[in-house]
Structure 1
């Protein structure tokens, strides 16, 4: 036979043909089990409230279709009998199918929003609650506790603390305490307030009573569809119907990144229902999701005029129960995700998700037509727009990413941070300079030009005359991301160097063994249990007896809930993946998940970890408003700025990080998608790479070719180094980010890293600087001469505004700000 293996040679010793096995479409997910404490099961009372929030805007959505033919209209007897199955997603699905071939144009969403009448539709306190028989005391969130906390779910100490703050007796049984709090709310509160905002008074930002909550419903203030769906989610977080409706509302408002985030969560809940392989991997989520949908239908199961069961309530009593309703929800979710990814120009993700459901379930032709037709219509559009990403201006890790515009306001962002205010500028100086323990001298301050407004560009100015060569500023990174490089095992000479996670000092190879012994012996002053994990995190010992160790420093500043957890999956989501050659124990690289634009994920984890720790003192602190991020630029500074977006980097991986840290991504909307996107944008505009090699002039790598496994095994490690992640040590220096750029030779200062503490950043003067003169540094290496417009904005976070002899073609190496 022609295909028989050669004699005397095992067929199985050969690896599969190069690229014969396609890599997974998305990075690996963690094996989560009991990390998250889910909310209590939904009560009948809460289910009625949640359905009321959802049904009012959903009914209006259906009415806005008018007399137009419905996509889900029955065409035969079988479909007539199947109509009740569409009850939970019918209006969203019918709306989606009106224009399903191409995504919504961002430029005309407001006109279409007005045409639909949804922009003018709002509901007041009376519209929602009057005559419904709701227990207002139980449904109103307690303003003194965590967002989304209902009285029925509060524990004894929470009830007592809340009653004490209200100057009410706090003794008695749990039932008595709850009733006392409900009675007080009925007497004093005819309002519904949710999503409390951060207290930023220490930054000079005063949020009055109306600004303390993102959503407030009273008789005088009404809310629109988006807020209504959000309130439904807060009451019943495990109902994929509510997440789908809010996703489509976000899509209608051209908030495509938020639409993807909501639809992704709806998809996770649906997968728990339909996929038996994951049903028990997070105990309790399956039963809560099933019960949320069941209670949603039962909350209004009879026709009030006839007393008869609605068809969907009758269907609920059939053998498949809730499963009857899931297929329509899944198909609507799939269309929202596909259209949103296309609008964001995430073409690779778009093609993967567009085909996903077709491969997972059998659908009738009517439901398959949108996917088939859209594919044909979009092909020429994709070819035209995707060609722009073939230019060499993009680093490899962004080649796959779509674009999200940075100056678009998110609905729940308070938009009240005036960076030009005296109080804000003074606080920035206090936090970044006066309280900077690494900076014994104070030679600069934060400054803003008089007469500027909230989109002002802050700067650093000298507070005294500075001589040439003087150290001006020193900063240790409060937010850090250290990616463990994966090297093919070919001897000790190619093993990654072990470094201290706190200061990046190199550690001897024998240190890992000694370190493990210290952990086993309980000597945790200089050690951390993370050394024994699959990806070891090490800390160096104290230089002198009595000095603070790096482990102690880390545990005091950033190493909190993340400590002790297995984060190998997170590192694998942004680095090359290996496989073993058949018939041997040799490894080779198959693909890299860096292409999913996930390189900010480790910094994102640290921000989540720090936020959760600080919430022990400030329970309403939002992650994008911690001190280290609040001082940075925001949407006011991002006019016409585009930020990378991928499904994995902006949605999947951030949600998985939160769940591994114990956050309920369905219930806790303080980590909603918009918060994550704001954090990622701030990081994109301000991160700095530590890697010393990136300080040298090199060619931008925008493509990485993975050679066949047998070929890789013959190449020296230096030849394979091109497959390493573009950045494997990234830092955020909030103070350094306020030094503005100037193209050489107009810069009067420069920067680098401390040779004694490798990740401590230094800024020093190049020439004498007079008092009150702005200190400007060059972000580029002096030899760089090919910086494009796109990479310039990536480094500076905005177009160059130094006013100097800007060379149109220069290439950045010094920073990825």
Structure 2
């Protein structure tokens, strides 16, 4: 390892230690806006502009609290600020310095010197608010959220029109917008706001389990007994997928990585149910629609024999039956009952439908956490699911001037979906967003989103063709993809897997004891190249199942059906949902239309959530490469 790498590692270790100290201080003093600004700077130095934006936004909210005596947290925020100022004027408000591994300042706001020995205390929040605007505009710019960056930049310039840093960021925003939109003049209303951030198990995340330990497998198998009594979870080696054909080594082996899979404990007959799972981590984006609040199945018709029941404490939350009501009361509903949370992200603009569903999944998980008094990442429905995490080192922004290109980040991110709206939801649930930082920090929201994008499935409305229901079924998603599956599935109120009567090529169905349960997330009747291109966004590369390798000539001896269907006959019978091998990255590029003319094009570029077209699955996202140029801070979309 060279000297630059050693220095970079040392610098990272120091910054991580400083972050831990600041986080501990925030847990003891949750209304200290200065601590948030200090941690924002550390997050920025570590290469987490999204987390820097999150801290800066909380600091900005505390500035608002200080400015109005009627606000809920005015008194604790004021008392905390007075105590801080007794120690001297905070250096974070004088200038922002970012040191590299050699201790040299590489970027900062140098001109913001403040001689404030006698400055009235209530002027300090104004200085802090300006720092928040500077942080938010630059951090959101680095995430690719140009519209939100511009909005905070504009707010800052209203307070300080001559601020050099804000004016510089404003220029960066428009230059980047011109490159992304490929235009000479930028319409502010057209500024893109979908960005990408790091997708990883954060170095301080001590909630992520090793899914392959005996304890983890025992837990999953105990859960599996209730929904798939003839199955068990095992570790399995799967091909490491890339966006091209993998060349085997001289022994004919291809690279693999360890994941989880479902295996038959006993023989399973054709047509026999393999798994039937209901998940409370199910949401719909239809306001006041006739869907069960737990499972989102259509409510049974009303009548004397109807099983439909409502919540006894709120007027408009309905359930299929007493079982769903009891499940809701035990797992999530008390946290949102009569809290006016239901309307948030419901009936969204069609283009925002996929984003809204992910946000609703996050909202449901927060309600589950509050009701069960459990950390969101420790929920049974979340803890063991796959998140397509990359190693922190591969996500890190290099400090050395000798380093290669910066990394490509893969977790879709917006200010509204990841920062402001989740905090708004928590406030609606009467949760103090400052004192509960340990459970509701931004990195926790990001981790949940990564897991949802790795495993969520969706059902589309038959009339509009837009996604309306989304769910995470943590046990169903353990079944791996294969283009010669031995099971098929459907999702109503419950996710159901059953053994196929017939395999590809006309072979008789059935699963023998010890064989792996093989699900499918693309239209398996298409030719190999079409299947690979179609599922590339969900699998993270070309499918390397035995059927695909044989049909492509990479193996010998396949006699399967390779007939291409006409476009009018095409349907998607399950793209993704797999928590083990699918790479569900990319920014949200909603399916604007599922009509036949666009369906093949949209499906090819999918990445994010699986969904169904009258019971079949479709994707609601697309991959975008984020190219950061160190000279002009450009972000380009990969066409």
TM-score normalised over the length of structure 2: 0.67
| Aligned counterpart, 1:467 | 269
| Aligned counterpart, 1:737 | 477
Structure 1 residues 769, 593: CA separation in 2 closer, same or farther (over 3 Å shift)? closer
Mapped to 2, the partners of 1:503 and 1:655 lie a distance apart of 25
Q: Give yes or no for contact 1:464–1:772 (8 Å, CA) kept in 2.
A: yes
Mapped to 2, the partners of 1:417 and 1:406 lie a distance apart of 16
Mapped to 2, the partners of 1:681 and 1:470 lie a distance apart of 33
Q: Which segment is superposed worse, 776-785 or 804-813?
A: 804-813
| Aligned counterpart, 1:297 | 85
Q: Give yes or no for contact 1:406–1:635 (8 Å, CA) kept in 2.
A: yes
Mapped to 2, the partners of 1:596 and 1:239 lie a distance apart of 36
| Aligned counterpart, 2:118 | 314
The offset of 1:508, in angstroms, is: 6.8
| Aligned counterpart, 1:665 | 433
Mapped to 2, the partners of 1:387 and 1:643 lie a distance apart of 24
Mapped to 2, the partners of 1:555 and 1:664 lie a distance apart of 22
| Aligned counterpart, 2:26 | 233
| Aligned counterpart, 2:489 | 751
Q: Give yes or no for contact 2:199–2:409 (8 Å, CA) kept in 1.
A: yes
Quote the RMSD (CA, aligned, Å).
4.0
Listed as ranges, the gaps of 5+ residues in structure 2 are 90-113, 184-191, 241-255, 395-407, 501-508, 553-599, 607-611, 621-639
Match of 1:401 among 194, 197, 211: 194
Q: Give yes or no for contact 2:345–2:356 (8 Å, CA) kept in 1.
A: no
Match of 1:776 among 518, 539, 542: 518
Aligned-partner SS, 2:276? strand
State yes or no: 1:538 paired with 2:278. no
State yes or no: 1:456 paired with 2:258. yes
The offset of 1:335, in angstroms, is: 1.9
State yes or no: 1:567 paired with 2:350. no
The offset of 1:781, in angstroms, is: 4.3
Q: Give yes or no for contact 2:486–2:517 (8 Å, CA) kept in 1.
A: yes
The offset of 1:120, in angstroms, is: 6.7
The one-character-per-residue Cα deviations of 1:702-748 (angstroms, maximum 9, x if unpaired) are xxxxxxxxxxxxxxxx7xx47xxx422111100011011123xx222
Mapped to 1, the partners of 2:345 and 2:137 lie a distance apart of 27
State yes or no: 1:687 paired with 2:456. yes
Structure 1 residues 262, 508: CA separation in 2 closer, same or farther (over 3 Å shift)? same
Aligned-partner SS, 2:197? strand
Q: Give yes or no for contact 1:560–1:610 (8 Å, CA) kept in 2.
A: no
The offset of 1:565, in angstroms, is: 1.7
Name the structure, 1 or 2, with higher relative contact order (CA <8 Å, separation 6+). 1
State yes or no: 1:501 paired with 2:289. no
Match of 2:420 among 648, 652, 673: 652
State yes or no: 1:676 paired with 2:445. yes
| Aligned counterpart, 2:147 | 348
Match of 1:556 among 330, 336, 347: 330
The offset of 1:652, in angstroms, is: 0.9
Structure 1 residues 507, 121: CA separation in 2 closer, same or farther (over 3 Å shift)? closer
Q: Give yes or no for contact 1:401–1:597 (8 Å, CA) kept in 2.
A: no
| Aligned counterpart, 1:601 | 359
Mapped to 2, the partners of 1:376 and 1:597 lie a distance apart of 29
Aligned residues: 488
Structure 1 residues 801, 627: CA separation in 2 closer, same or farther (over 3 Å shift)? farther
| Aligned counterpart, 1:642 | 410
The one-character-per-residue Cα deviations of 1:334-368 (angstroms, maximum 9, x if unpaired) are 12212221221122322222223224x2x252x1x
Match of 1:358 among 157, 169, 185: 157
Q: Give yes or no for contact 2:387–2:452 (8 Å, CA) kept in 1.
A: no
Q: Give yes or no for contact 1:596–1:648 (8 Å, CA) kept in 2.
A: no
Structure 1 residues 566, 121: CA separation in 2 closer, same or farther (over 3 Å shift)? closer
Structure 1 residues 470, 680: CA separation in 2 closer, same or farther (over 3 Å shift)? same
Mapped to 2, the partners of 1:555 and 1:345 lie a distance apart of 40
The one-character-per-residue Cα deviations of 1:178-223 (angstroms, maximum 9, x if unpaired) are xxxxxxxxxxxxxxxxxxxxxxxxxxxxxxxxxxxxxxxxxxxxx8
Structure 1 residues 237, 497: CA separation in 2 closer, same or farther (over 3 Å shift)? closer
Structure 1 residues 787, 610: CA separation in 2 closer, same or farther (over 3 Å shift)? farther
State yes or no: 1:376 paired with 2:134. no
Aligned-partner SS, 1:457? strand
Mapped to 2, the partners of 1:332 and 1:387 lie a distance apart of 32
Query: Structure 2 matches for 1:94-105, cutoff 5 A?
Result: none
Match of 2:205 among 391, 409, 413: 413
Mapped to 2, the partners of 1:596 and 1:505 lie a distance apart of 19
Mapped to 2, the partners of 1:787 and 1:327 lie a distance apart of 58
Structure 1 residues 504, 679: CA separation in 2 closer, same or farther (over 3 Å shift)? closer
The offset of 1:614, in angstroms, is: 2.6
Q: Give yes or no for contact 1:686–1:816 (8 Å, CA) kept in 2.
A: no
Structure 1 residues 799, 332: CA separation in 2 closer, same or farther (over 3 Å shift)? farther
| Aligned counterpart, 2:586 | none
- Higher Cα radius of gyration: 1
Structure 1 residues 737, 656: CA separation in 2 closer, same or farther (over 3 Å shift)? same
Match of 2:233 among 423, 429, 446: 446
The offset of 1:299, in angstroms, is: 4.0
Aligned-partner SS, 1:597? helix
Aligned-partner SS, 2:335? coil
Structure 1 residues 802, 342: CA separation in 2 closer, same or farther (over 3 Å shift)? farther
State yes or no: 1:762 paired with 2:496. yes
The one-character-per-residue Cα deviations of 1:601-641 (angstroms, maximum 9, x if unpaired) are 222222122222332xxxxx421122211111146568877
Aligned-partner SS, 2:127? helix
Q: Give yes or no for contact 1:527–1:539 (8 Å, CA) kept in 2.
A: yes
The offset of 1:794, in angstroms, is: 5.7
Aligned-partner SS, 2:424? helix
Structure 1 residues 401, 468: CA separation in 2 closer, same or farther (over 3 Å shift)? same
Structure 1 residues 510, 121: CA separation in 2 closer, same or farther (over 3 Å shift)? closer
Q: Give yes or no for contact 1:739–1:775 (8 Å, CA) kept in 2.
A: yes
Aligned-partner SS, 1:664? coil
Listed as ranges, the gaps of 5+ residues in structure 1 are 1-109, 123-222, 302-309, 316-320, 389-398, 486-495, 519-524, 542-547, 577-591, 616-620, 694-717
Mapped to 1, the partners of 2:519 and 2:354 lie a distance apart of 32
Structure 1 residues 311, 376: CA separation in 2 closer, same or farther (over 3 Å shift)? closer
Q: Give yes or no for contact 2:196–2:409 (8 Å, CA) kept in 1.
A: no
Aligned-partner SS, 1:751? strand
Query: Structure 2 matches for 1:172-211, cutoff 5 A?
Result: none
State yes or no: 1:728 paired with 2:486. no
Aligned-partner SS, 2:345? helix
Query: Structure 2 matches for 1:566-585, cutoff 5 A?
Result: 566-572=340-346, 575-576=348-349
The offset of 1:759, in angstroms, is: 1.2
Q: Give yes or no for contact 1:403–1:643 (8 Å, CA) kept in 2.
A: yes
Structure 1 residues 652, 232: CA separation in 2 closer, same or farther (over 3 Å shift)? same
Q: Give yes or no for contact 1:643–1:681 (8 Å, CA) kept in 2.
A: yes
State yes or no: 1:330 paired with 2:330. no
